[in-house]
Amino acid sequence: MADFDPEKFEDKYVHYFNELQRAYKDAFNRVNERYDSELVHAIDQQVLSESEPFYEGDGQFRVELPENPTDRVQGVIAGDEKVEGVLEAYVEQIEAELQRIFGFAE
C-alpha cells in the first residue's frame, strides 16, 4: 500500500503510476473472471484506456470515462445494455481497487 497524499494525486501519473496500473490490472482480472472475456477486453482497450481516475475525498475515487463509451466498443457482439452493465461493473471494480491499494478499504 502506498502512502496516499491527495495533493500528489493531482499529478497521479508521476507519483502513483505503479499503483494505478495495479488497480486497473487487478480490476481487469476480477471482471474478466465474471464476464465475457471478449467484451471485457474490448472495454479495457477501447474505453478504459482513455479513462481518468480522480480522488473525490473521504477515501472515494471516481473513474471518468470518455464520451459515448458504449459507442466505442467495437468488434464484439453485445447489446448496449450488456456493454453498459459490464462497463459499470468494471468501473466499480477499478474504484474499489483504488480504495484497497491506497488503504481506504480491505
Q: Which helix (H) or strand (E) holds 56?
A: strand 52-57
The number of folded domains in the chain is 1
Q: Which of 79, 71, 68 is nearest to 36 (CA)?
A: 79
Does the CA dihedral 8-12-17-21 come out positive or negative? positive
**Tens-digit pLDDT string for the chain (106 aa):** 457 889 999 999 999 999 999 999 999 999 999 999 999 999 999 999 999 999 999 999 999 999 999 988 888 887 778 889 999 999 999 999 999 999 998 6
Nearest-Å Rg of the Cα atoms of the chain is 14
What is the amino acid identity at position 28? F
Residue 90 lies in a domain: yes
Residue 106 lies in a domain: no
Q: How far is CA 9 from CA 54, 67, 81, in A?
A: 8, 23, 33
Q: What is the pLDDT of residue 105?
A: 80
Q: Using a cut of 0.85, tell me whether the model's pTM lies above it.
A: yes
SS3 assignment, position 3? coil
Domain range holding 43? 6-101
Structure confidence by residue, pLDDT tens digits, 7-33: 999 999 999 999 999 999 999 999 999
SS3 assignment, position 91? helix
- Cα 38–Cα 45–Cα 106 angle in degrees, nearest 5: 90
Q: Which of 80, 94, 89 is nearest to 52 (CA)?
A: 94
